[in-house]
């Protein structure tokens, strides 16, 4: 019985450690995405790269943004990849007034 309980505990501990590393990778991705600058000159676009790290995991982000000719609208697309092999993406648009 002790052997089965020990194996179950070991399995559970491994699953928790893996989930923690996955969450740290997601946090690193969020930090990388937050570090991306965006276009600020009307009519111009920007390609940006950024990196992030958290809890021993790392991530890279790439983004493309553009400010409209009038400077009223901004568009942004970004993607991330972390050291746990996960990918993420987001898109957004905003209007100045």
Question: What domains are there in the chain, each with its CATH number?
Answer: 2-95 (3.30.1300.30)
Nearest one of 49, 56, 50, 51 to 23, comparing CA atoms = 56
Q: How confident is the model at residue 3 (pLDDT cuts 50, 70, 90)?
A: confident
Distance CA 8, CA 68 (A): 58
Residue 64 scores a pLDDT above 90? yes
Q: What band does 60 get if pLDDT is binned at 50, 70 and 90?
A: very high
Q: Please give the residue that has the higher pLDDT: either 54 or 5.
A: 54
Closest alpha carbon to 61 in 53, 71, 72, 70: 53
Two structure tokens written together for 21:
């590393």
Region 48-72: mean pLDDT is 98
pLDDT per position as a tens digit, 28-41:
999 999 999 999 99
State the pLDDT at residue 2.
Answer: 79
What is the Cα Rg of the chain in Å? 20
pLDDT of residue 1: 59
């Amino acid at each position: 019985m002790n052997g089965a309980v020990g194996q179950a505990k070991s399995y559970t501990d491994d699953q928790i450690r893996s989930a923690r590393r996955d969450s740290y990778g997601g946090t690193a991705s969020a930090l990388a995405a937050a570090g991306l600058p965006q276009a600020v000159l009307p009519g111009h676009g920007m390609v940006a790269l950024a990196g992030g790290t958290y809890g021993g995991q790392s991530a890279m982000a790439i983004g493309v943004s553009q400010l409209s000719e009038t400077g009223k609208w901004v568009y942004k697309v970004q993607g991330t990849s972390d050291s746990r092999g996960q990918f993420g993406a987001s898109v957004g648009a905003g209007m100045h007034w």
